[in-house]
Every structure is written in structure tokens, then in C-alpha cells.
Amino acid sequence: MVQKYQLETLSVRAGQARSQFNEHSEALYLTSSYVFDNAAQAAARFSGEEEGNVYSRFTNPTVAAFQERLAALEGAEACVATASGMSAILSLVMALCSAGDHIVASTGLFGATQQLLGNIMTRFGVQTSFVSQTRVEAWAEAIRPETKLFFLETPSNPLTEIADISALVAVAHERGILVVVDNCFCTPILQRPLDLGADLVMHSATKFLDGQGRVLGGAVAGEKKLTDEVLRFLRTAGPTLSAFNAWVLLKGMETLKIRLEAQSSKALELARWLESHPKVTRTYYPGLESHPQFELARRQQKSGGAIVAFEVKGARSEAWKVIDNCRLLSITANLGDTKTTLTHPATTTHGRITPEQRAAAGITESLLRVAVGLEAVVDLQNDLDVGLSQI
């Protein structure tokens, strides 16, 4: 199926295994365990000698359908679903790294990812060096003999900096280092990191894969040899995706391509308007010619995506004025929803990191992030303009 069909077809069709009832919509299996024919089969299932469902901490048909669909979209051999995006990152680090190992990651990572790698994992002896997303030589210089992973997120949140996946893969693979890409912002519709040589892709399915702001979920996809390690951790530690959430995600993925394309084109229109607004000092969007990596983005992604960041004239109070005058945009940190959201990264998503980490990541007090949904662009502009015009 993977070879034969286009992405939008796979989004709708991949991963479905019908039950004896021949349901048309994917079945939701709400069961924690499974019944065996006899004691010998139970033993064979537990030991892994016989494939099949055992217990929903690590085997569930609805979760399996989600895993298969995402694997098909990413062009991955296998996929393991997790309870959230953060548990996908935790699981892959716990599965692939040991005390003494080292990770190189970008300074512009999602706030909780920075916290996990930079603060929590260090207590377990896994060190992370944070380097500029855009300087390939900085990644090469940060490599140590014990470096195990490159962890990158492109475009970055919220500044939409682009990492050159192929170039970083070349540097990493020369030294036997694995490359993990957080593909949350682009989804496989706009960018397929495995095609560019990355070893693993991870997702916060909470964002565009669901696409309607309903459930949390995550996933790690790539070579089966690697995802099996993640599965081994998940089986024991239990940060498992629920069957219900997997079912919601399957439904969300059916409209992934049309949403991403519509939201991206609205985001480009909004970014152009923001860029020309007298109260906006800088706009960050990979689809704008003014983006420092516009050419790289054009090569690596199908479009600029749905996230736009911008700085207003002034500082925190001016940024908050724009937020507080909005009546349509939702003041919330989620993204990838059909409803447009607006957030002040310095005091929300990036509020728990130190001011030094924030400065290194380029998150200023005047920065705002818009995750564009499916509303009319003119309505979004009018809403933002109320606060902007008061600056």
C-alpha cells in the first residue's frame, strides 16, 4: 500500500484491518487485555514467539492502526505510538541512550524538550549540548566520542528556523550518530525527514495529526530495529497512547493534507500582512522571501507551514496588548488546531527555561506566535489589528 498510493490516500486508508463485522470506519478497541485460546498460546504471546495482542500497554488494534497509518505517511518501516509528544521524546532517549551518552540538539527546541534534555536527563547522566539550529559546523564541533544522537526540530518553535536535515545527517552518519527529527510543524505532508536520511521521526500527534485540539498523543517512527527499542521501553514503562486517542487521531489524519495546505496558504497570507504592518518589527515565516533560510525551506518543505511568529514595537506590555484585545483568536499555547491560537512564548511555552536559555533561543518579550487555523484571513487580521493599532 505504501508504495502504491499517494499521501492523501494513505491518510484515509492506511492501517485499517477490519474485524469480523466488516465495519467501514476504524473500530475502537476499548480493552485492556486479550483472551488466549489456551495456556500455551498465552505463553507464546508473552514470550513474543507468537505475534498478537497481549495487553494494551503495548498492543492494541486501534493503536496499531494509527501506528501503521503514520508509518505509511512518513515512509517508515515501523512506528510506536506514545501518550504524548513529550513521552515520545522521553521514550526514545530512554531507549537509545545510557548514562554517559551525549546528545547534540538545537537551542530553538520546544520549551519542554529543552527542559527534558537540558535539565531532567542530565540527572541520569545523559548530557545535551545545545547549538544553533542553522549552523551545521556548530553541530560538528559539538560532537564528542560519546555522542549518540542529533535531535532537531525543523522548523523550530516559535521562530521557524530551518535545520538542513540532509547536511546534518551527513555530519552525523560519518560518526555513527543517529539523527532524530521532531516533525510536528510540517507533518509528513510537507516534509519527510526519513527520505532525507534521518533515522527517526517523532511527533506530537496532539498538534496537526489530530488537528482539532482534542487529544494528546505522540509517536516515534523509523527503522524497526530502532522503534523496537522504543517499544521495549514503552512495554515496561507504560507511556502508552490510549485506544480512544488513537481512534481520534486516525479520524484527524484523514483530513491532514487538506488542512495543512489550507492552513499554510492562510499563514502565508497573514505573514505577508504582518510583515507590512507598521507596528510589527519582524515577521518569522519560512514562506516569506525575507526568511533567512527561504531557499532551504523551499527545497526541504512543500510550503511554509501554519506557524507565524512576529515581534511588535515595544516589549511585553505591547505584546500582551495585542493578545488581550483579540476576541476571535484563542489565547492558548496549543497549535495545529483548526481554530487559530495566539501565544506569548516568553511567558508560556518558553517560560520555564532560564532567561539565558530564552535569550539563546531568540525568544524576546515582544514576540508573539500565531498558529493559523481555518478561519478567514481577513477576520484574523481585523482581530490582531485592534491591539496592534493601539501600540
Angle at alpha carbon of residue 168, lines to 171 and 141, rounded to 5°:
60
The grid cell for 356 is: 539565558
| C-alpha 152: how far from chain center | 10
| Residue with Cβ nearer ligand PLP (54 or 81) | 81
Residue 327: how many CA atoms within 13 Å on its side-chain side?
5
Would you tell me how many other CB atoms lie within 10 Å of the CB of residue 113? 22
In the complex, the smallest distance separating the C-beta of residue 109 from ligand PLP, rounded to whole angstroms, is 8
Q: How far apart are CA 180 and CA 190, in angstroms?
A: 17
Binding-site member from 162, 184, 190, 248 for ligand PLP (CB under 6 A): 184
Binding flag, residue 157, ligand PLP (CB under 6 A)? yes
Q: What order of strands is seen across the sheet that includes strand 78-82? A: 78-82, 218-222, 200-204, 178-182, 147-153, 102-106, 127-131
The 36-75 contact track toward ligand PLP, x by CB under 6 A, reads ----------------------------------------
In the complex, the smallest distance separating the C-beta of residue 163 from ligand PLP, rounded to whole angstroms, is 12
Subset of 218-257 contacting ligand PLP (CB under 6 A): 218
Binding-site member from 182, 199, 210, 383 for ligand PLP (CB under 6 A): 182
Subset of 91-150 contacting ligand PLP (CB under 6 A): 110, 112-113
Chain residue whose CB lies nearest ligand PLP: 85
In the complex, the smallest distance separating the C-beta of residue 203 from ligand PLP, rounded to whole angstroms, is 8
Amino acid letter for position 256:
L
CB 326 within 8 A of CB 339: no
Binding flag, residue 216, ligand PLP (CB under 6 A)? yes
What does DSSP assign to residue 301? -
Binding flag, residue 84, ligand PLP (CB under 6 A)? yes
Helix (H, G, I), strand (E, B) or coil at 150: strand
| Residue with Cβ nearer ligand PLP (84 or 128) | 84
Q: How far apart are CA 317 and CA 16, in angstroms?
A: 50
Interface contacts to ligand PLP, rule CB under 6 A: 84-86, 110, 112-113, 153, 157, 182, 184, 204, 206-207, 216, 218
